[in-house]
């Protein structure tokens, strides 16, 4: 590999995938795009600005004054008018990292399905979320919610609450899933009429039954964590190691190996090399700078290589075929298109022409170059193409270039590519063949364009796919073309297949058949049996192309094609359609790789997302084909099972590791089918700020009259715990535990007390103070060495008050049938360049779905089998260990107790594994144990330790009590204590009388 290639690939490896950059202390190049589905409302722009301005202050607080939002661009839809917006440059809806669009729910979320520490795809907000101030009550201040979603987007952390496991057992005690543990609250069940009742307990699990909610105290005395509940006023930062709840069954622990969010941000995120050394700002951050831009009708210039090498393998003919498909079926009406060809010199084949009819399209098709000769002077073509773009309004800003070439430049492309990048045009590049210049990727990456590298294999149909993918969506997918099928075959007989047209598509449906040599016999049959013969198709002999344009809206169902040839030749078919209705977005597929460049040191993941209007489509059959420049291909079935490379089960994102790497450019194509009727639409909760059902605004507990400090919810009849904020002596917080001798509504008599201290950076330490000299009303003086003034403790006997938020608008979660459909999509091409001479050997993938259950005195573990190489093949063996201590198991796996796995034989990757075993002792009721698994391959390479699974032994209770909240039982507590005191006094009096009487009688 030459040094120039190494430099280009190194740049690709180090560059950010989002476009967002950290400039000093400020984030810049943030694009917020409003979908074309959103009606014009200029108030929305002000709301976005207010959210980011407020969020910048919260972000500054959350990360120790290190960062803030510096610059952001708001992209408004093309149809918004009445205001002179700036002209958009390289911004587009699909590339934007914050998207504003309608959806089934107003919940803010980040679309996240990558590994911990990797950036999410985008933040999604609805217009109603921004315009309707009542949602602030449901989720918290918009600025703080933005920071919550930003942490997902930028730093790849996960939520610290759990909708599926809101409660868990911790060493026999019931706990709410939260972080930090210093967040306190109460458990309530909200009835249909809005009244509250105590939560009932499931007699088998001894956990609250479904419908029990955790209501936090409105006033908290901890500042973390934003990833748990950003709606709380006191919460302004992320959980750090000394306060992280390592046991909570939330996504942050599961996905990030029980690592605190703060540690992920500073050690694993895209900013890990910058944040630790970044100095805090000395003053408050300035307000963000906003730019509001708009993209109008597309202006495109095709810059096409017609040098002599384009005669190889009929490349010039294939260029014509693909460009014809682009002009006839893909580019939208009212777009302006120009055509430039280049070889030794450059030539304008067509000036900018507005597409306003079918005849205009055909005229442009006739002007496509058909002959090739000469050298490859790329700069001549690029400069002339930019000149064509300037002919409409004098600038190239926001216009598009589609640049195709098959060879290395005869001239120095660096001399012109830098200028082209600075013009503000979007440059899509197609590197046709194995020798195309590496600078083509540079131009696409830096301008928001798309990069493709199709090979010379006719049956792969890659060049057609590349041109068909050159759309620029505004968020309204009803206006974008949808590729239903793209497949090829070399045969001397029949080429048959089925294409399923579903209810969401059907308009402008076209079948394009390309043959290599001889005109074949073609027949296409509709679902109702109507047959379209060749007499109803158009045949372009010079392009060796046959096209059927289905009139009106194509009939839903299975369309069958039959192509017969009598000689051996390559045949391809491409089927494209549009939405059947302007009100119903079509099912779409988006394909991508986890990296655009690999040196073999980090596994690559293939992703395919299948959705319809942000609703996941599950249970589809998804296959990916990864094809190199040499034509070698690997097929992978992508899975949505929540194991291996797949982050979440049934989220509509299908994933798999790509392990058979080879040097060079590789193309990605994904095919999706639902021809067995199993696919479903579902509504799934995304990662985002939680809905809060309400708050406890008056807990009715023991308070200090002077400070109003709150008592923790956990107490017994003779123990009350008070959490007190204290900034004295460098303490982070103080906790005073009082042993109660007697309580009256006006005073508390204490017989002993102790204080637990949590120093900054250290764990808790207990200081015992023994007994006070007087057993009268206790004062705070002395608990802090006399540093605080006398403040009498008083007991408030009122019941707690819960303030309910409005209910979250219901969203139907019933899975809906999809019907038969087919789709194909391609992702951007990527490159592989090994650091060594041989491909890497990957260990088995990390097990991410380990679960544990204690059944009497046995333990049952379940997980999805990893492979020999990541998630492919079969691993050699498993190592299972357990511990009472989660941290020890996580940090020192080999030191934990080992489980005998001699009888466990790993199954093929993707299989369900279960292993039941007995421990060498009787597990006591209330015991919590932690389990982890590692797997090993034939080369003795070990996987990472699995997610840590925990299980508690809880014996069923046929009559479980409800959950008692402290605020609800204070009156009972007072009465009980009084009764107990009266009984004691009565017993003492009787005993004294009896003793005295006996003495007299004696």
Check whether residue 526 and residue 649 sit in a common domain. no
- The distance of Cα 598 from the centroid of its chain, to the nearest Å, equals 22
Q: Whole-prediction pTM value?
A: 0.86
What pLDDT is recorded for position 970?
A: 38
Concatenated DSSP letters of 287-310? PPEEEEEE--S-EEEEEEE-SGGG
pLDDT of 788 > 50? The answer is no
Q: What is the CATH number of the domain that holds 605?
A: 2.60.40.10
Residue 67 lies in a domain: yes
Check whether residue 24 and residue 128 sit in a common domain. yes
Radius of gyration of the chain (CA): 33
What pLDDT is recorded for position 961?
A: 66
- When pLDDT is averaged across residues 784-805 and rounded to a whole number, the result is 50
Check whether residue 285 and residue 138 sit in a common domain. yes
What pLDDT is recorded for position 435?
A: 77
What angle (nearest 5°) sits at the alpha carbon of residue 111, between those of residues 110 and 112? Answer: 100
Residues in the chain: 1002
What pLDDT is recorded for position 617?
A: 95
Check whether residue 573 and residue 617 sit in a common domain. no
Report the DSSP beta bridge partners of residue 430.
Answer: 404, 452
The answer to whether 68 touches 284, Cβ cutoff 8 Å, is no
Residue that wins the pLDDT comparison between 3 and 452: 452
Percent of the chain scored above 90 by pLDDT?
70
pLDDT of 977 > 80? The answer is no
Check whether residue 414 and residue 478 sit in a common domain. no
Q: Report the candidate in 137, 128, 131, 107 with the shortest Cα–Cα distance to residue 232.
A: 137
Tens digit of each residue's pLDDT (9 = 90 or more) over 896-905: 999 999 999 9
Provide the pLDDT confidence category of residue 983 given band limits of 50, 70 and 90.
low
pLDDT of 529 > 90? The answer is yes
Residue 810 lies in a domain: no
Domain boundary residue, one of 425, 452, 479? 452
Tens digit of each residue's pLDDT (9 = 90 or more) over 385-425: 999 999 999 999 999 999 999 877 889 898 899 999 999 99
What pLDDT is recorded for position 808?
A: 84
Residue 260 lies in a domain: no
149 in active site: yes
Q: What is the CATH number of the domain that holds 428?
A: 3.40.50.410
Cis ω for the linkage preceding 970 (within 30 of 0): no
Check whether residue 485 and residue 564 sit in a common domain. yes
Domain boundary residue, one of 294, 328, 347? 294
- Residue at token pair 């796996």: 893
Check whether residue 462 and residue 441 sit in a common domain. no
What pLDDT is recorded for position 999?
A: 56
Check whether residue 278 and residue 319 sit in a common domain. no
Q: Torsion angle, CA of 637/640/641/643, rounded to 10 degrees?
A: 80
Residue 42 lies in a domain: yes
Tens digit of each residue's pLDDT (9 = 90 or more) over 850-889: 999 998 889 999 999 999 999 999 999 999 999 999 999 9
pLDDT of 741 > 80? The answer is no
pLDDT of 986 > 80? The answer is no
Check whether residue 527 and residue 556 sit in a common domain. yes
Provide the pLDDT confidence category of residue 172 given band limits of 50, 70 and 90.
confident
What pLDDT is recorded for position 853?
A: 94
Tens digit of each residue's pLDDT (9 = 90 or more) over 675-708: 788 899 988 767 889 999 999 987 554 433 333 3
What pLDDT is recorded for position 964?
A: 61
Which residue out of 91, 107, 119, 149 is catalytically annotated? Answer: 149
What pLDDT is recorded for position 956?
A: 80
Q: Report the candidate in 965, 615, 606, 665 with the shortest Cα–Cα distance to residue 813.
A: 615
Domain boundary residue, one of 531, 562, 584? 584
Percent of the chain scored above 70 by pLDDT?
83
pLDDT of 7 > 60? The answer is no
Residue that wins the pLDDT comparison between 601 and 781: 601
Residue 713 lies in a domain: no
Check whether residue 368 and residue 280 sit in a common domain. no
Count of domains for the chain = 5
The answer to whether 739 touches 752, Cβ cutoff 8 Å, is yes
- When pLDDT is averaged across residues 427-447 and rounded to a whole number, the result is 88
Tokens of 760: 């900054």
**HSE (CB half, 13 Å, CA atoms) of 724?**
27
Tens digit of each residue's pLDDT (9 = 90 or more) over 29-74: 999 999 999 999 999 999 999 999 999 999 999 999 999 999 999 9
The torsion angles phi and psi of 216, rounded to 5 degrees, stand at: -75, 155
3-state SS class at 261:
helix
Q: What is the CATH number of the domain that holds 504?
A: 2.60.120
Whole-angstrom distance, CA of residue 47 vs CA of residue 74: 11
What pLDDT is recorded for position 9?
A: 41
What pLDDT is recorded for position 797?
A: 40
- When pLDDT is averaged across residues 107-135 and rounded to a whole number, the result is 96
Check whether residue 573 and residue 624 sit in a common domain. no
What pLDDT is recorded for position 181?
A: 87
Residue 1000 lies in a domain: no
Weakest mean pLDDT among 99-108, 191-200, 787-796, 877-886? 787-796
What pLDDT is recorded for position 998?
A: 60
Residue 969 lies in a domain: no
Report the DSSP beta bridge partners of residue 640.
Answer: none
- When pLDDT is averaged across residues 568-593 and rounded to a whole number, the result is 97
- When pLDDT is averaged across residues 117-142 and rounded to a whole number, the result is 96
Please give the mean pLDDT across all residues of the chain: 85
Weakest mean pLDDT among 503-507, 606-610, 618-622, 697-701? 697-701
Which residues are CB-contacts of 45 (< 8 A; sequence separation ≥ 6)? 74, 76, 292
Tens digit of each residue's pLDDT (9 = 90 or more) over 464-505: 999 999 999 999 999 999 999 999 999 999 999 999 999 999
Residue 653 lies in a domain: yes
Weakest mean pLDDT among 137-151, 629-643, 950-964? 950-964
| Domain extent for 903 | 851-953
Check whether residue 419 and residue 511 sit in a common domain. no
């Amino acid at each position: 590999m030459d040094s120039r290639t190494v430099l280009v690939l190194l740049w690709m490896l180090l560059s950010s995938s989002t476009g967002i950059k950290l400039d000093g202390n400020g984030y810049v190049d943030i694009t917020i795009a409003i979908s074309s589905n959103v009606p014009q409302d200029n108030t929305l722009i002000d709301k976005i600005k207010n959210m980011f301005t407020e969020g910048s202050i919260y972000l500054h607080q959350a990360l120790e004054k290190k960062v803030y939002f510096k610059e952001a661009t708001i992209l408004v839809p093309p149809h918004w008018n009445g205001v002179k917006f700036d002209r958009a440059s390289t911004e587009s809806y699909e590339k934007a990292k914050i998207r504003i669009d309608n959806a089934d729910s107003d919940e803010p979320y980040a679309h996240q399905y990558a590994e911990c520490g990797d950036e999410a795809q985008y933040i999604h907000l609805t217009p109603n979320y921004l315009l309707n101030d009542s949602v602030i009550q449901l989720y918290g201040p918009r600025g703080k919610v933005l920071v919550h979603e930003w942490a997902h987007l930028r730093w790849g952390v996960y939520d610290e609450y759990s909708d599926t496991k809101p409660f868990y057992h911790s060493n026999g005690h019931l706990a709410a899933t939260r972080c930090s543990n210093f967040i306190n609250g109460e458990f309530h069940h909200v009835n249909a009429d809005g009244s509250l009742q105590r939560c009932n307990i499931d007699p088998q699990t001894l956990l609250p039954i479904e419908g029990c909610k955790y209501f936090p105290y409105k006033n908290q005395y901890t500042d973390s964590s934003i990833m748990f509940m950003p709606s709380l006023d006191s919460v302004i930062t992320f959980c750090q190691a000394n306060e992280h709840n390592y046991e909570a069954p939330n996504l942050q622990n599961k996905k990030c190996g029980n690592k605190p969010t703060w540690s992920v941000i500073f050690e694993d995120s895209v900013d890990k090399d910058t944040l630790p050394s970044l100095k805090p700002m000395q003053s408050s951050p300035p307000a963000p700078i906003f730019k509001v831009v708009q993209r109008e009708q597309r202006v495109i210039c095709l810059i096409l290589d017609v040098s002599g090498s384009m005669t190889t393998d009929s490349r010039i003919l294939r260029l014509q075929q693909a460009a014809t498909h682009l002009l006839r079926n893909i580019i939208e009406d009212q777009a302006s298109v120009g055509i430039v060809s280049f070889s030794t010199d450059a030539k304008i084949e067509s000036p900018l022409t507005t597409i306003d009819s079918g005849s205009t399209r055909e005229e442009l098709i006739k002007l496509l170059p058909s002959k090739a000769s000469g050298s490859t002077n790329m700069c001549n073509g690029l400069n002339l193409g930019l000149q064509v773009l300037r002919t409409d309004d004098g600038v190239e800003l926001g216009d598009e270039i589609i640049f195709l070439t098959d060879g290395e430049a005869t001239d120095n492309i660096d001399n012109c590519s830098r200028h082209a990048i600075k013009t503000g045009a979007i440059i899509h590049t197609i590197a046709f063949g194995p020798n195309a210049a590496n600078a083509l990727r540079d131009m696409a990456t830096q301008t928001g364009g798309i990069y493709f590298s199709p090979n010379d294999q006719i049956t792969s149909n890659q060049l057609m796919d590349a041109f068909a993918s050159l759309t620029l969506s505004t968020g309204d997918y009803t206006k974008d073309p949808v590729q239903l099928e793209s497949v090829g075959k070399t045969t001397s007989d029949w080429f048959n297949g089925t294409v399923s047209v579903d209810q969401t598509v059907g308009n402008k449906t076209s079948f394009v058949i390309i043959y290599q040599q001889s005109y074949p016999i073609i027949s296409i049959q509709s679902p109702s049996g109507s047959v379209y013969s060749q007499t109803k198709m158009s045949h372009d002999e010079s392009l060796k192309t046959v096209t059927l344009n289905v009139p009106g809206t194509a009939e839903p169902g299975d369309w069958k094609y039959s192509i017969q040839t009598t000689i051996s030749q390559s045949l391809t078919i491409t089927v494209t359609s549009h939405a059947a209705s302007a009100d119903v977005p079509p099912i779409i597929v988006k394909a991508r790789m986890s990296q655009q460049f690999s040196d073999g040191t980090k596994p690559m993941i293939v992703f395919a997302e299948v959705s319809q209007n942000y609703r996941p489509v599950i249970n589809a059959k998804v296959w990916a084909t990864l094809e190199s420049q040499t034509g070698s291909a690997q097929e992978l079935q992508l899975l949505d099972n929540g194991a291996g490379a797949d982050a979440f089960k049934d989220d509509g994102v299908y994933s798999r590791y790509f392990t058979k790497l080879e040097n060079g450019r590789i193309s990605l194509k994904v095919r999706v089918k639902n021809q067995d009727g199993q696919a479903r639409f579902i509504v799934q909760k995304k990662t985002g700020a939680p809905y809060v059902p309400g708050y406890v605004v008056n807990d009715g507990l023991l308070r200090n009259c002077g400070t109003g400090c709150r008592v923790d919810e956990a107490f017994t009849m003779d123990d009350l715990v008070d959490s007190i904020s204290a900034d004295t002596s460098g303490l982070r917080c103080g906790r005073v535990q009082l042993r109660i001798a007697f309580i009256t509504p006006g005073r508390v008599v204490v017989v002993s007390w102790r204080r637990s201290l949590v120093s900054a950076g250290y764990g808790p330490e207990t200081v015992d103070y023994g007994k006070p000299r007087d057993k009268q009303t206790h004062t705070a003086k002395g608990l802090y060495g006399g540093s605080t003034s006398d403040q009498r403790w008083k007991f408030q006997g009122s019941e707690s008050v819960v303030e309910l938020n409005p209910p979250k608008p219901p969203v139907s979660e019933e899975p809906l049938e999809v019907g038969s459909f087919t789709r194909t999509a391609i992702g951007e091409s990527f490159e592989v360049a090994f650091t060594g001479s041989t491909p890497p050997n990957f260990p088995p993938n990390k097990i991410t779905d380990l679960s544990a259950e204690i059944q009497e005195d046995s333990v049952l573990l379940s997980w999805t089998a990893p492979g020999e190489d990541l998630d492919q093949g079969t691993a050699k063996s498993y190592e299972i260990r357990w511990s009472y201590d989660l941290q020890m198991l996580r940090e020192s796996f080999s030191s934990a107790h080992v489980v005998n796995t001699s009888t466990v034989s790993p199954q093929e990757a993707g299989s369900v594994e279960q292993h039941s075993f007995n421990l060498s002792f009787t597990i006591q009721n209330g015991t919590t144990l932690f389990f982890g698994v590692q797997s090993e391959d034939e080369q003795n390479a070990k996987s990472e330790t699995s997610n840590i699974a925990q299980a508690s032994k809880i014996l069923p209770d046929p009559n479980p009590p409800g959950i008692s909240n402290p605020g609800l039982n204070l009156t009972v507590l007072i009465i009980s204590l009084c009764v107990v005191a009266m009984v004691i006094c009565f017993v003492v009096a009787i005993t004294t009388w009896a003793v005295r009487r006996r003495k007299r009688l004696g």
